[in-house]
Amino acid sequence: MELHAVADLPEIRPGDDLAALIADRADLAEGDVVTVASTVVSKAEGRAFDLADFPASPRAREIAGRLEELTGDEKDPRFAQAVLEESTELLMDAPFLLTETRFGHVCVNAGIDRSNVPDHDLLLLPTRPTESAERLRGGLLATGLEDVAVIVTDTCGRPFRHGQRGVALGWAGMPASRDWRGERDRDGRELGVTVQSVVDELASAANLVTGEGADGTPAVVVRDWSFGDLEGSDQLFREVETDFVRHALREWEYEP
């Protein structure tokens, strides 16, 4: 398996045809998986905004005030407003905002970035990253290929661990995970629980290549990787009923 950076992509602007920009620079082959950082998907989809676009509601002001009080960091209530508007559930309001985004991904600040965004204050995540991945895939298939998958990624922290890594937000042309249940381990024991989150693993590998700073690239081609014969599934985000950590968080309150 090889990972290739797609070099020389320009600064992405609203309305850009990202699939064409990538296809022009990538020399894609059948079976490739193309990962695209959500940052540029958002830029192409016009998801850059200013704080002024989010007049703060009383709730946003209350949340920002509490955060400022507890952490000592200055919090703009309009930022809290943007996070609330992007989210369906506020899981933690301190010492940072942890929410479920409208498309089901749980992360800090609804994934809103304030870096790598020229001319604007905020870059929101794509509204429906799986639909973004499907559109990008459609654009790549239009170049004459038949078998290409796309993963829209973000760099994201995870609970229980320091540091950030690449995760998948949306995907198309491949299942999200590979189901090893019923397969045998080296001792012949049947695997009971292993469902491998393939799109996250590919997103993490690709994130090593994209980098985070000014001289990285938002698109990576994964070549000669194969899903194999196992069953696939498109479940990535846990259902609320069986998401027990979420239930615990709902009961928890931060005390400095």
Residue 214 interacts, among ligand GDP, Mn ion, none and using kind-specific CB cut-offs from 5 to 8 Å, with ligand GDP
Radius of gyration of the chain (CA): 19
Q: Which of 132, 153, 138, 148 is nearest to 212 (CA)?
A: 153
User: Which of the residues 139 through 158 are near ligand GDP (CB under 6 A)?
Assistant: 153-155
> Phi, psi (5° rounding) for residue 182?
95, -15
Residues 223-252 binding ligand GDP (CB under 6 A) are none
| # binding residues, ligand GDP (CB under 6 A) | 23
Q: Hey, what are 68's tokens?
A: 């400022």
Question: Should residue 155 be labelled a site residue for Mn ion when binding is judged by CB under 5 A?
Answer: yes
Could you give the angle at which helices 58-71 and 77-85 cross, rounded to 10 degrees? 120
Phi, psi (degrees; rounded to nearest 5) at 137: -60, -45
- Contact yes or no for 102/127 (Cβ under 8 A): yes
Q: Rounded to the nearest whole angstrom, what is the least distance from the CB of residue 162 to Mn ion in the complex?
A: 16
Residue of 122, 131, 224 whose CA lies nearest to 171: 131
Among ligand GDP, Mn ion, none, the one that 218 touches (CB under a kind-dependent 5 to 8 A) is: ligand GDP
Q: How far apart are CA 119 and CA 235, in angstroms?
A: 36
Q: Using DSSP, state whether 225 is helix, strand or coil.
A: coil
User: Closest separation between CB of residue 218 and Mn ion, Å?
Assistant: 8
Query: Which amino acid is located at 198 in the chain?
Result: V
Segment 162 to 191, residues that bind Mn ion, using CB under 5 A: none
* Comparison of 59 and 114: residue with beta carbon closer to Mn ion: 114
**What is the sign of the dihedral through the CA atoms of 183, 238, 170 and 125?**
negative
- Overall residue count recorded for the chain in this entry: 256
Q: Using CB under 6 A as the criterion, what x/- string covers residues 31-50 for binding ligand GDP?
A: ------xxxx--x-------
User: Which residue has its beta carbon closest to ligand GDP?
Assistant: 216
CB of 216 to ligand GDP, least distance (A): 2
Please report how close the Cβ of residue 147 comes to ligand GDP at its closest, in angstroms.
25
Question: Which residue among 116, 127, 143, 233 contacts ligand GDP (CB under 6 A)?
Answer: 116
Footprint on this chain of ligand GDP (rule: CB under 6 A): 9-12, 37-40, 43, 113, 115-116, 153-155, 210-214, 216-218
Footprint on this chain of Mn ion (rule: CB under 5 A): 113, 154-155, 212
